[in-house]
Chains A and B, each alone.
Chain A
Amino acid sequence: MTTFTDPGQPVPESSTLDLTRDGRSVSDRGETVCVIGAGPSGLTAIKNLTEHGFGVDCYERETGVGGVWNWRHDRSPVYASTHLISSRPLTQFPDFPMPDSWPDYPHHSQLLSYLERYADHFDLRRHVWFGTEVVRVEPVDGDRWDVTTRSTGGYGPERTSRYAAVVVANGHNWSPKLPDYEGLAEFRGEVMHASAYQDPAQLRGRRVLVVGAGNTGCDIAAEAAQQAAHCWHSTRRGYWYAPKYLLGRPADQLNDLLLALRMPRRLRQWLFHRLLRVSVGDLTRFGLPRPDHRMLETHPIVNSQLVYYLGHGRVTPVPDAVRFHPNSVELADGQQVDPELVVFATGYLPQFEFLDSKVLGDDDVTGRPVLWLNAFVPNHPTLAVAGLVQPDSGIFPLSHWQSVLFARLLRLRETQPSKAAAFAATVTARAGERYVGPVKESSRHWFEVGHADYLRALQRALHDLEAK
């Protein structure tokens, strides 16, 4: 059985009214809201819901807060050297800044301590049931939800509670996306997904092929450049590798300065192209393909080190892998390389295994829910998904405002039902909207958002909701 972490807390008051389909009793948690996951998005949901006067039960499968940022968690993808990609002001919660003595790009251990301090400062842990995973979430009459939980690992009885609303904050960087290659099963070398990569010692002295040019792939390639006997970096196309600093300030802050000056996107693109050209130079010189898109059209890759090691010959850029042989890997240009270790930095897929995919509007089970503001679910006004965004900044501020908007919406359902109904109609009408300029179509970009576009849309939604 699960218990509250705070031993002084009384067992929640609940009354048994109803039975689940398989005949177990459901405890009714009244107006309480259920939050799934105590990572950054879950924590900010708890904080903002309690701040708006709601009772909250949060279920966390691990034994600590922090989600992916907690390296102790078995689903955490962080590796020893993980640092932020976006700088501090664009990453922190808007109402709880990180210490200003921290570097521009803090380390993942600092992120974890930040999230733990956030939880302690706002006394959030007393709402969290640790070591408890959510098995099923089912809609019931009256826009309420039956949430079935059990101890992580599957032992112990299942337990079903009925909630007034649910916030899904289970994260999207824990279920590895592994590409399938011909002959991969016969390959004799070691194969791992980046989620299993933790420490440069795993690369030391070996011949390493890193597949994927996301931020993780570039980080691992740069580490392999220092540790491995040889490093090949395989990318599908040419990318823009933005340095972490441009014109003497963090590159994302420069972008935001230009945004604040209302510089149009095309002009920003032109400026960034010029800046990269004069500061980083022409990457085709190192054998990289020329980017087939303009900057800001893919998720930004921010890495100052990769280009440096290309220039030192420590990283050999190679095209996409085509098929695997027992002792080598065949590449798109016919070349064969013989790595001992292949690291797939090929990303992650969002998963909502506890929820019928139809609930999220994903009828064909493609893994891509159809939502408004990437958070609100058509026909389910009391369900929200937090943090299902891939912004060109940190996710925390976006999750924060999502949960503020959801909390205010739930309040309005009681005080001004007509406004809440109007909001629900908007959700249905505008589900699937995008908050980013044109992006290169790719499965990883379906939930890409521009943080400024997205937050502006959220701000408008909040103002419309509360307009007199």
Chain B
Amino acid sequence: MSQRVRIVRGREWARPVRPVRREVLEATPGLDEGRPPLLFVPGFGHGAWAFAEHWLGHAVERGFSGYALSLRGQSGSGPAPEATLRAYAHDVVQAAASLPRQTVLVGHGAGALVVAHALARYPARAAVLVAPVLGGWATALTALRHNPLGTLPALVGGRLRCNRAQLFGRELPRDEARRHLSRLGRPTRRAQWQLLFGREPEPAVGDPPVLVLGSPDDRVVPRSALTRAARRYASAPLLFPGMGHDLMLDAGWREPIDAILDWLEKESSGG
């Protein structure tokens, strides 16, 4: 990760990202206790619905306002067949800047990579990377090993498919898993490609605390990748054994979100 601050961005100024309608599902507690809002960013194929299922409601119960974003091209957001990682990061920064207070960015899967890019453009209150897919060859190889039929086409520009064993643990009822799988969309070809070979995220602005969590039994993100991701932000990953890649949908969804909120409470009390 390059540590140098980049100030001059002529190319980006000259070619602003085109706006697309953004779906943001929101859940706010009746009483605002001044806690930082959370912005959930889904990974490839998912959408705001993935967080609306359990996490959004749970955050509200604990007094946090939660916002779940669909990136462009995902579920309720406007279509964007040519979306790039830059456009995704743009969506995250726009959504974060529209919230009333400095926001905690929570990115899942490839959404964590989008969050890592967004952190260079927006001084987040904190960031949480859930089962982060930060890209590179290792990601592709792991996916190939666990799901060759679903992954191979993606490498040549086709559709990336994830299967049940990659995303969920064994405890999740079959019906529920099928329901979630049927909602999965597809990322754009360019974004898929950039996930593998794109540029490293620039250093985060504002020096936010970063928490990395995942599952050692995740078949998309190997444990070594979790450790690497956490080391990048000078910490160690929090692990939730027995769960699949989709920590927010899997049977044990309560534990990771509680861990995130506990960590945030500790952080904001200056711990």
Give the interface of A toward B (CB within 8 A).
Answer: 51, 88-90, 94-97, 99-101, 117, 120-123, 249, 253-254, 256-257, 259-260, 401, 404, 452, 455-456, 458-459, 462-463
Contact = CB atoms under 8 A, between A and B. Distances in A.
Interface in B1-45: 4-17, 19
B15 A257 contact: yes
A257 B13 CA distance: 8
B94 A99 contact: yes
A95 B8 contact: no
Given A120-B100, A452-B8, A459-B5, A256 B13 contact: yes
Contacts of A122: 102, 123
Contact of A462 (B5, B93, B94, B121): B5
A121 B19 contact: no
Nearest to B99: A121
A260 B10 contact: yes
A60 B101 CA distance: 23
Among B4, B13, B121, the one with the most A-chain Cβ atoms within 10 Å of its Cβ is: B13
Given A256-B13, A458-B7, A459-B8, A97 B206 contact: no
A100 B17 contact: yes
B138 interface: no
Nearest to B122: A95
Given A95-B206, A462-B7, A257 B99 contact: no
20 contacts: A51-B123, A51-B206, A89-B14, A95-B121, A95-B122, A96-B97, A97-B94, A99-B97, A99-B98, A100-B19, A100-B90, A101-B19, A121-B99, A123-B101, A253-B13, A257-B15, A259-B10, A259-B14, A401-B7, A463-B4
Q: Which applies to chain B's interface (DSSP): helix, strand, loop or mixed?
A: loop
A271 B219 CA distance: 55
Contacts of A89: 12-14, 16
B94 A452 contact: no
Given A123-B101, A256-B13, A94 B19 contact: no
A452 B98 CA distance: 28
Contacts of A458: 7
B205 interface: yes
Contacts of B99: 121
Nearest to B205: A95
Contacts of A256: 10, 13-14
Nearest to B120: A95
A456 B14 CA distance: 16
Top 6 nearest A-B pairs (CB, nearest first) are A260-B10, A257-B14, A100-B19, A256-B14, A459-B7, A260-B11
A459 B6 CA distance: 7
Given A123-B101, A257-B14, A455 B7 contact: yes
Interface string B131-149: 0000000000000000000
A159 to B, nearest CB: 30
Nearest to A52: B207
A247 B6 CA distance: 28
Interface in B68-102: 90, 93-94, 97-102
Contacts of A452: 8, 10
Interface string B108-131: 000000000000011100000000
Given A97-B97, A99-B94, A456 B8 contact: yes
A404 B271 CA distance: 26
A256 B101 CA distance: 32
Given A90-B13, A95-B205, A99-B94, 10 more contacts: A89-B14, A94-B7, A96-B97, A97-B94, A100-B90, A121-B101, A257-B10, A260-B10, A404-B5, A459-B5
Given A95-B123, A458-B7, A459-B8, A253 B16 contact: yes
A101 B206 CA distance: 26
Given A101-B19, A253-B15, A459-B8, A96 B101 contact: no
Contacts of A101: 19
A31 B158 CA distance: 58
Nearest to A93: B97
Contacts of A120: 100-101
A254 B122 CA distance: 25
A100 B97 CA distance: 11
Contacts of A257: 10-11, 14-15
Nearest to A468: B3
Contacts of A254: 14
Contacts of A459: 5-8
B102 A123 contact: yes
A385 B214 CA distance: 47
A97 B14 contact: no
A97 B8 CA distance: 16
Contacts of B121: 94-95, 97
A257 B9 CA distance: 10
Contacts of A253: 13-16
A457 B72 CA distance: 36
A371 B70 CA distance: 47
Contacts of B207: 51
Contact of B94 (A94, A100, A249): A100
Interface in B178-226: 205-207
B16 A100 contact: yes
Contacts of B94: 97, 99-100
Contacts of B102: 121-123
Nearest to A101: B19
A250 B100 CA distance: 30
A458 B93 CA distance: 24
A301 to B, nearest CB: 20
Contacts of B90: 100
Nearest to A458: B7
B97 A121 contact: yes
Nearest to B98: A99
A280 to B, nearest CB: 21
